[in-house]
Structures are given as structure tokens and as C-alpha cells.
């Protein structure tokens, strides 16, 4: 997804007059002078000034897209960890209820759930390694 977003940004920056709205969104964190040079609102004093402005806006857009990717990955990881904990809590409750008929200690249930949530990825990796070694 982020490669496509970067590709769209590059195409829009190559043709800024055709995609002013997209360029405005991409260059929102750039300086006003760079944006004005990019869309032709200000005439550059040299070709080098125009190229430098385009380079700065491109670098800023690439960094913004990378930052978005990092933020989304971190958010997704937090959500998945929370869901893993909730699923392990439910499984631990069901296992303890089936084994003993009732939950004797909510604290024990919590500890069991936390351990299950943290050890589940390790167990999954071990099972995958054993299956790979077996084949």
C-alpha cells in the first residue's frame, strides 16, 4: 500500500499543475515557498532553485509516508496484542471452567491469561520450526 502511495506522490509531484489538490496534500508540511515554486505561483530564479524545491518536497513526502507506515504498524501491533490478551483470557476462563467447574481465583485467571498471551507467539514459532524440521 505504501509503495502505491509513494508512486502516486511521485506522479503528482512530476505534474504539479495537473494535480494541485494532491500536491497540496502531499506538500502540506513543506514550506510555502517550496509549494509556490512547485505549482508555478512563483517563478524560480534558476532551474536549480526549482529542482531543489522539488527535491525538498519529495523528501518531505517520502518521510511523511514512512512516518505514517511506522505509526500504523505500531497501532496495529497494539491492537493485535490487546486482542491476543482478550482471546487468551477467554480461552483460559473456558479451560479453567471446564477443568474445575468454577474459577477459584480471578488473580490466577489473570496470571494464566497474561502468560498465555505472551507465550502464544513463542509456541507458534516452535510448532512451525518442528514442522519444518519434520518435513
* pLDDT, position 40: 79
Average pLDDT, the chain: 84
pLDDT grade for 133, boundaries at 50, 70 and 90: very high
Residue 106, pLDDT above cutoff 80? no
Residue 120, pLDDT above cutoff 90? no
DSSP states of 52-90? HHHHHHHHHHHHHHHHHHHHHHHHHHHHHHHHHHHHHHH
Show me where the domains of the chain are located.
2-134
Tell me how far the alpha carbon of residue 36 is from its chain's centroid. 31
pLDDT grade for 54, boundaries at 50, 70 and 90: confident
pLDDT tens across 75-105, in order? 999 998 888 778 877 877 787 778 777 677 7
C-alpha grid cell for residue 31?
Answer: 514550506
pLDDT grade for 36, boundaries at 50, 70 and 90: confident
Mean pLDDT value across residues 68-77: 94
**Dist. CA 47–CA 45, nearest whole Å:** 7
* pLDDT, position 79: 94
Amino acid at each position: 500500500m505504501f509503495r502505491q502511495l509513494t508512486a502516486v506522490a511521485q506522479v503528482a509531484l512530476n505534474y504539479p499543475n495537473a494535480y494541485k489538490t494532491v500536491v497540496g496534500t502531499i506538500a502540506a508540511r513543506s514550506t510555502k515557498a517550496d509549494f509556490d515554486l512547485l505549482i508555478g505561483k512563483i517563478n524560480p530564479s534558476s532551474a536549480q532553485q526549482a529542482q531543489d524545491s522539488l527535491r525538498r518536497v519529495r523528501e518531505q513526502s517520502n518521510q511523511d509516508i514512512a512516518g505514517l507506515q511506522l505509526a500504523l504498524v505500531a497501532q496495529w501491533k497494539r491492537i493485535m496484542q490487546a486482542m491476543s490478551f482478550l482471546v487468551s483470557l477467554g480461552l483460559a476462563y473456558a479451560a479453567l471452567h471446564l477443568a474445575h467447574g468454577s474459577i477459584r481465583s480471578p488473580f490466577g485467571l489473570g496470571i494464566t491469561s497474561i502468560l498465555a498471551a505472551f507465550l502464544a507467539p513463542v509456541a507458534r514459532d516452535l510448532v512451525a520450526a518442528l514442522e519444518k524440521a519434520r518435513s
